Amino acid sequence: MKKSELHLSLDDYIESHITPEHPYLHALWRATHLHLNYPRMASGHVQGQVLRMLVQMIRPRLVLEIGTFTGYSALAMASALEPGAMLHTFEINDEQEDFTRPWIENSPWADRVTLHIGDVMQILSPLPREGENLALLDSGVQPLPSQTGVGEPFDLVFIDADKRHYVDYYEAVFPHVRPGGYILADNTLWGDQVITPPRPLERGLGGEVDNAKSSQLRGIMAFNDVVAADPRVETVILPLRDGLTLLRKNP
């Protein structure tokens, strides 16, 4: 049996032996595959169930998702939020809004999810200047700009956006995560390509350029190296789909 066939067989077996997919999420999954390019970017049943269970275990009050796509992962997590908890999800691609917003706003969990269209990096404030927000500095948490309406600190962050900027997202969001809070990052094994060297830079008219797939892989590998060496967190990588990294910020 080929490796790809084995993976498909295992996927089918796993899906048939876990909690059934919620009908609304299944409908979203089908619509994603029918109407959008790159539907595999959506989390899907197995990963959605893992995210849901992690939310049940962590019991966060405030969740941040970086990279919404169709909203599958956001809704899977929101389905497990306790009353009063909130999830804010940011999608940088405004062309995605027409598909995603109705699915979120018509979902059974619409009161727990807010979709923001724009670059999350624009609302993750820089570190305070010396003498500012000393109480928050002492707690290990930095404030977000008040006009965002997001609030903070975050108990859980899920990063699933442009892989080239994973390190930037991580460093920007880290001060806004409460001590003992969690950061999840998707696609951190990039299939199994993290154990193979990225393709060399290609030479073009303007000099050396990185091809798209290699630049994404370089971003993932840089992120993996950064968090592995970061004494501020405890880290584990799960070989789920393309890899899911779980980080806990030290108390």
**pLDDT value, residue 209:** 46
CATH number of the domain located at residue range(s) 3-249 in this protein: 3.40.50.150
Residue 129 has pLDDT above 60, yes or no: no
Say which range, 138-142, 150-154, 215-219, 246-250, has the weakest mean pLDDT: 138-142
**pLDDT value, residue 6:** 57
Hey, which bits of the chain come out as E strands?
62-66, 86-91, 113-117, 154-159, 177-186, 202-204, 207-209, 233-238, 244-249
* More confident: 208 or 76: 76
* More confident: 149 or 36: 36
Q: Where are the domains of the chain?
A: 3-249
Alpha-carbon distances, residue 156 vs 74, 173, 214 (angstroms): 12, 11, 29
Average pLDDT, the chain: 84
Residue 103 has pLDDT above 70, yes or no: yes
Alpha-carbon distances, residue 205 vs 127, 202, 208, 209, 216 (angstroms): 39, 10, 8, 9, 22
Radius of gyration of the chain (CA): 19
Residue 102 has pLDDT above 80, yes or no: yes
- Residue 38 pLDDT level (bands cut at 50, 70, 90): confident
- Residue-wise pLDDT for 155-206, tens only, equals 999 999 999 999 999 999 999 999 999 999 999 998 778 887 666 655 554 5
State in Å, rounded, how far the first CA of the chain is from the last one.
47
Q: Tell me, rounded to whole angstroms, the distance of Cα 53 from its chain centroid.
A: 15
